[in-house]
Amino acid sequence: MPMASNDKNKQTGKNRAFVQSLGHAWDGLRALFHYERNFRKHLLVGSLAVIAGAILRLSLNEWLWLVLAIFLVLIAETLNTIVEAVVDLVVGTTYHDLAKRAKDVAAGGVLLAAIFAVIVGALVMLPALSRWF
C-alpha cells in the first residue's frame, strides 16, 4: 500500500494530540476502503442490512444485535488486513508455513464473524419480515 510522501505519514513517535490520533485513524479507515475489496463488500452488505432494518422497523434490541454483527465483521476484516500486512512485511515474497497459517487464521476470524452476522441477520430479519405478512 503506497503512502503519500508528506510529513504526517512519516511520524515515528507518539501522537501529540487527540486530533492527530483521530487523523491517523481516519487515514486508516480511508486506506481500508480504498485498498481492501472485501472491506468494501462487507460495508455494502452491512449498509443493505441497515436499509432493510429501517424498512422493517426493527426494535431497539434488534438494532443493537444487527449493528453489533455489522461492526464485528468490519473489525474482523480490519484485523485480518493488519495480519496480512504485517506478515507480508516480515516475510516478503518468501513462502513460510507459519506466515500462511497466520493469514489463514485471520481470514478464518472474518469468516466466523460473517457467519455470526448471517445468524443474527436471520434471527432479527425473519421475525420482522413475518410481522409484515
So which residues are the catalytic ones? Answer: 77
Run of H or E including 4: none
Q: Which letter does DSSP use for residue 93 in this model? A: T
Decide if 74 contacts 43 (C-beta within 8 A): yes
Q: Which amino acid is at 41?
A: K
Rounded to a whole number of angstroms, the distance between the first and last alpha carbons of the chain is 49
Measured CA to CA, the distance from residue 37 to residue 97 in angstroms comes to: 25
Measured CA to CA, the distance from residue 115 to residue 23 in angstroms comes to: 32
H helices of the chain, in order, are 18-35, 37-56, 60-91, 97-132
